[in-house]
Chains A and B, each alone.
Chain A
Amino acid sequence: MILINIDSLSTTELQYIAQQEGLENWQTLDREKLIDELEEAYGEQDDDISSSATKNKANRKRFCNALTDFRGNMQNVQGLPGVEDLPDVYAETAIHLLLRDPVWAYAYWSLSPGTKIQVFGEDGQLGGSLFLRVSSTSFLTNEEKTFDIAVGVDDTQWNVNLPEMGHSYRVALCYKNKKGLEMSLAESTEVSTYPSYWTDHYNEMAMDPNLFNIHFSSLVTKEGEIVDNAVLQEIAQTLSGGVL
């Protein structure tokens, strides 16, 4: 649920939304207090992972024909006969890696009951631990590197940091027993990150104002706001000496 351009709304509208949101004393709160309370209510709904993504303030909310998501329950749209709830995870041992941006990927995985018994024992008596082994291969040198991320038995997803661009990455779900013996249980397909040509050729652009203009004049608004992209902003900052 979200409010849009909250300052533009009339006090009547704010009261209506506050009422829908179940805020106490909505009738007695003044305008400023209503806005504060509503902003606080919505702020609490943002979870940890989403807050790590930069929200674009210029992002128009498509498909909005009401100021609130009015449905109080999920039953408003009837399901069809014979459908069952989705499982939390599937009974298979697999891991997938999705590229979110050149620095972060999202991994999700599942362990089949059979694999769980095989590695941890019927009642978990064998112990041991799970970890993710992230492998990278450099496009330039073919050099391979790995690093591990410890995960819990009940974990099923992780945001994986990708340290360098110009590499392909894959991730394996691995088990380590009490004696330190390791076993790969499942491996993802590869994702690749390609470095920008300009990341390694700052000087070419720095020495040529025309080139700089050609490349950046389309990426910066008249007010000087650059496209929301971390790599691009880094290039711009380096080239402009922090002006952009």
Chain B
Amino acid sequence: MSKKSVAFILNLHLPYVRHLEYPRFLEEDWLYESISESYLPMLRMLYKLREEKVPYSLTISISPTIMCMLTDEALQNRFNSYLELNRELGEKEIVRCAAEQPEFLEMAQFYLDQLKQNLTDFNDLYRGNILEGFKSLEASGHLELITTAATHAFLPLYQEYPTAINAQVELAIQAFLTTFGHVPKGFWLPECGYYPGLEETLKSHGITWFQVASQSMLLSPDKVRYGDYRPIRCPNGVAAFPRDYQATSLVWSNTSGYPCDRNYREFYRDIGYDLPMEYIGEYIHEPEVRVFTGFKYWAITGNTDQKHPYDRSAAQKKIVEHAHNFLFNLKRKGDVLSASMGKDPLYTLGFDAELFGHWWFEGVDWLEQVLVLSGREEEEVTLVTPSSFMAKEGETFQVARPAFSSWGAGGYSSVWLDGSNAWTYRHIHKAIERMEELAVRFSDQISLKQRFLNQAAREVLLAMASDWPFILYNKTSSEYAQKRLTDHLRNFNVVYGNMCKNAVNTEWLVKAEKRDILFPDIDYNIFNPER
């Protein structure tokens, strides 16, 4: 019997958003929704399986920006306020649903229970820092933790600036080391963005593997023998794990994936939009800006506005069915592949972690089912981490070159370099050049100038985040993204302009340090190309 290996890699990433100058800030909710709906439920599930002695292996990439935000005391406090506010809404919903919409009462109670459990877990179990949960699961051998570029920059568009590429990798590894106490073996390429030669920077920092987009093997200039079903080694020895687009699409596709099932919960129907302003007003954003609250009672039903009420038991049945179907597909495909290849396949599946629980409400439950089923001895599918797979079979990997690629539309750079966002690179590249110039001209400064230059380095890195061009491309929160991007660049120019006059703008510095406090140990000399 052939054994099929599956490497699940979940990427936890959000852009750095922290606006303490406002009592509540809409885009900060990205973090709170992710913790509340994805990270905490996922940790609960993983802890539960560990207690039940279900064997499983997952790989989780935690981006440095998420690390910074999850360990930020001010954001931790604000997350508590978010949970408290939603718990209050949950209590109101119980009363309202009991009186007016009893068909929604079960889900209202579910949401309220989840919020209460989140409050308990967040404060009592993790003492505000949920990274401790991931650390514990890594220590028990259930997770391989890795990281990604410092601010999740789409690296192919910075290949002209090796110093900046190195800064993104080196700072990320420093942040990971500080948080988790060791250097990661793997590196999640933001947006699966790969260009030939990137592996050299990764290797210089001790990275032994990274993931790439599915088409990277077929587009390789070399004859890759096993397509996406076996990792390859780049000529410098670092391994590349190609993503299986077909298996990923069973889950990921929002046109045909499992999350589209009519029984699952509809994401886009939310009481934040459906209920009268006088009821919902204090739970949305000022001034009367309707947003998602997380209280959603409808099933997807179909391509219609006449939705059916969500039936949790029907959805639970579907979850089991979909988990079996997922494994069945892998097994069936694996049998054919094993015969064709003369080797057992490895499926590498990479997802944004926020898909599970936040976007796909039932996603965490589905993942639990997959872990439980694949943990059974008779099961032909085994979960592995890339590092464990390398330890076992690394010597057999073919040496070949991955191709320039990403997981975005078109498969290359066009999402991050189109009409909506191409203008940004003129300014970001110039900021990088100027940062390099400052690092050379004013190397090894101390005191205020050092702080000034360190803040400049933070601003450049924040401007490089892939999130801003992605949002501009998708036009979801364009004005915020544009404002953030230009603010970081304008902030950088304050330092550049002042340093050229041998001055330090202390008012700016103090305020900037309060606003963007990520990478506390950053050393701007990292941008010195002569270093």
Contacts and interface: CB of A to CB of B under 8 A. Distances in A.
Interface in A188-244: 189, 192-198, 201, 204, 210, 213-223, 225, 227-232, 235
B250 interface: yes
A58 to B, nearest CB: 5
Interface string B1-45: 000000000000011000101000011011001000000000000
Contact of A63 (B420, B423, B467): B467
Contact of B475 (A1, A62, A218): A1
A65 B359 CA distance: 10
B218 A232 contact: yes
A90 B470 contact: no
A62 B493 contact: no
B221 A65 contact: no
B522 to A, nearest CB: 18
Contact of A197 (B220, B487, B511): B220
A125 interface: no
Given A8-B268, A80-B491, A232 B219 contact: yes
B22 to A, nearest CB: 9
A81 B215 contact: no
Interface in A1-35: 1-2, 4-5, 7-13, 16, 31
B411 A229 contact: yes
A181 interface: no
Interface string B185-207: 00000000001100000000000
B525 to A, nearest CB: 24
B250 A89 contact: no
Prevailing SS type, chain A contact patch: loop
Interface string B403-434: 11100111111110111101101110110000
Given A99-B413, A214-B227, 13 more contacts: A8-B269, A47-B419, A53-B418, A65-B26, A65-B27, A77-B487, A83-B508, A84-B494, A84-B497, A99-B156, A99-B195, A219-B215, A229-B219
3 closest A-B pairs by beta carbon, nearest first, are A49-B419, A229-B411, A56-B409
Interface of B: 14-15, 19, 21, 26-27, 29-30, 33, 156-157, 160, 195-196, 214-215, 217-229, 242, 244-247, 249-250, 252-256, 266, 268-269, 273-274, 285, 289-292, 300, 303-305, 307, 329, 333, 336-337, 340-341, 352, 354-355, 359, 401, 403-405, 408-415, 417-420, 422-423, 425-427, 429-430, 467, 470-471, 473-480, 482-484, 486-487, 489-491, 493-494, 497, 505, 507-508, 511-512, 515
Interface of A: 1-2, 4-5, 7-13, 16, 31, 42, 45, 47-67, 69-71, 74, 76-86, 89-90, 96, 98-102, 104, 106, 108, 110, 156-157, 189, 192-198, 201, 204, 210, 213-223, 225, 227-232, 235
